[in-house]
Amino acid sequence: DLATKRKLQWELSALSKHEYNSSRSCLDITLLCIGDEVCNKQLIPQIKACSEKENQCNFTQCQNAIRSFYDNLPLNVGKMLVFCNCNPSDARCQQAKEVLHSRPCGITEDNLPTCVEVIHSCLDDEICRQRYEVFQSKCWGHLTKPCYNDEDCLRSINRKDATCTGDDECRAAYIGTRGTILQTKCTCNQLMQTERPLCELFYHILYNQTCYNIDAFIIV
């Protein structure tokens, strides 16, 4: 099948032999991917599917393309692509990052959902729910397992005490959430004080810099 074929192609890729290095910028990684025949070939369908034409793009096709790309990557390549960073003042790197991290289209900075809404949407979607549960168990299981998805229980967790496993199984599970609503930027701004603790916990789970070595997207 296509997935098996893509995984076999990666065995021929020089990029799959690279060691993950957290100091590499997204511009460096983009150039590496474009210069690698296998990576470039597999990245193109994602870029095409997620490019907005006349301010429109097919959200479902975009998500499918992102999942198809990341599901077949060797873990070291996935980590290079997903966890690359940029200096905020480096415009070229920021542009490269947007290409690599083709987030599902249709969400703009002006209409960001809350992180609670993102989790609720995910739990209502079978594919996303399955991937979220794997991600939760691999990264935060010791913290969230007693609660499962009971929000009253989750509210009792102090996010300042919340640490993730941060190992390769966790990072692989995080990469597995690409191409779902969990990849959407979210915020806790504009929420009432009573609603913020749960939202901030979800934000912490989704965007923990120490755990995933990523830039936080929105300051909550």
- Structure token pair of residue 93: 């790197």
Residue 129 is part of a domain; what is its CATH number? 1.10.220
131 and 56 co-located in one domain: no
Q: Which residue has the higher pLDDT, 151 or 215?
A: 151
10 and 92 co-located in one domain: yes
Asked if residue 199 belongs to a domain, the reply is yes
Last residue of a domain, one of 47, 77, 101: 101
Asked if residue 109 belongs to a domain, the reply is no
Asked if residue 9 belongs to a domain, the reply is yes
- Structure token pair of residue 11: 């065995």
pLDDT at 108: 64
Average pLDDT over residues 13-33: 86
Asked if residue 219 belongs to a domain, the reply is no
Q: What is the pLDDT of residues 185-197, one digit of tens each?
A: 899 988 888 899 9
pLDDT at 219: 36
Q: Indicate the number of domains in the chain.
A: 2
Tell me the chain's radius of gyration from C-alpha atoms: 17
In this model, does residue 169 exceed pLDDT 50?
yes
pLDDT at 50: 85
pLDDT at 55: 64
pLDDT at 177: 95
What is the percent of the chain with per-residue pLDDT over 70, rounded to a whole number? 90
9 and 90 co-located in one domain: yes
Q: Where would I find the H helices in the chain? A: 2-10, 26-34, 37-50, 59-71, 75-82, 91-100, 115-123, 126-144, 151-155, 168-175, 196-207, 209-212
What does each C-alpha distance from 15 to 39, 82, 91, 176, 213 come to in angstroms? 8, 14, 25, 20, 20
pLDDT at 35: 93
13 and 95 co-located in one domain: yes
In the predicted model, what is the mean pLDDT of the chain? 85
φ/ψ of 56, rounded to 5, equals -130, 145
Asked if residue 63 belongs to a domain, the reply is yes
φ/ψ of 167, rounded to 5, equals -90, -175
pLDDT at 103: 66
* Cβ neighbours, 10 Å, residue 153: 12
124 and 195 co-located in one domain: yes
Q: What is the pLDDT of residues 153-167, one digit of tens each?
A: 888 887 777 788 888
Asked if residue 218 belongs to a domain, the reply is no
Q: What is the pLDDT of residues 97-108, one digit of tens each?
A: 887 877 666 666
pLDDT at 220: 37
75 and 119 co-located in one domain: no
Q: What is the pLDDT of residues 128-155, one digit of tens each?
A: 999 999 999 999 887 777 887 888 888 8
188 and 163 co-located in one domain: yes
Asked if residue 108 belongs to a domain, the reply is no
Asked if residue 216 belongs to a domain, the reply is no
172 and 84 co-located in one domain: no
Q: pLDDT band at residue 181, thresholds of 50, 70 and 90? A: very high
Q: pLDDT band at residue 17, thresholds of 50, 70 and 90? A: confident
Which single residue is written with the structure tokens 């065995």? 11
- Asked whether 91 and 26 are in contact (CB, 8 A), the reply is no
160 and 202 co-located in one domain: yes
3 state SS for 108-168: CHHHCCEHHHHHHHHHCCHHHHHHHHHHHHHHHHHHHCCCCCCHHHHHCCCHHHCCCCCCH
Exposure of 209 by Cβ count < 10 A (0-12 exposed, 13-18 middle, 19+ buried)?
exposed
Last residue of a domain, one of 79, 101, 123: 101
Average pLDDT over residues 165-182: 92
Domain that holds residue 197: 115-211
168 and 94 co-located in one domain: no
Nearest CA to 101 among 52, 147, 127, 66?
A: 66
